[in-house]
Amino acid sequence: MPQPCLTCEPLAPPRLIRSHLSGNRLRGDLPDAWAAPGAFPRLQQLSLSAGGLNGTLPASWGRSGAWPALQKLLLDRNELQGDLPPAWGSAGAFPVLEQL
């Protein structure tokens, strides 16, 4: 069975507010493309818990304006490696994030 594609360009409708992909056995790195300007302009919750993700956290996700509405980012129970990129703590990164 083919594995879900995490590195594909985002196909999210511009009005997507919540995406719960927990437990779907997604593998690999979190894609830089998801932080492209306008990729997820209204997304408030992104749950990728318990999925087998095993890369590092992309610095691009901390770019100002990448996640303008994101309040919850759930990445627990994966095999992510490394530290939180400094960009994630910069001014403008995740402006309304309440839970990581």
The verdict on residue 96 lying in a domain is yes
Number of domains in the chain: 1
Residue type present at position 41? P
pTM here is: 0.82
The verdict on residue 80 lying in a domain is yes
**CB contact at 8 A, 48 and 26:** yes
Distances from the Cα of 31 to the Cα of 13, 27, 57, angstroms: 17, 11, 9
The verdict on residue 14 lying in a domain is no
Domain, as residue range, for 75: 24-100
**Cross-strand bridge partners of residue 79:** none
The verdict on residue 33 lying in a domain is yes
The verdict on residue 3 lying in a domain is no
3-state secondary structure of 32: helix
The verdict on residue 1 lying in a domain is no
In the structure, what pLDDT confidence band is assigned to residue 37 with cuts at 50, 70 and 90?
Answer: confident
Q: What is the pLDDT of residues 65-81, one digit of tens each?
A: 999 999 999 999 999 99
The verdict on residue 84 lying in a domain is yes
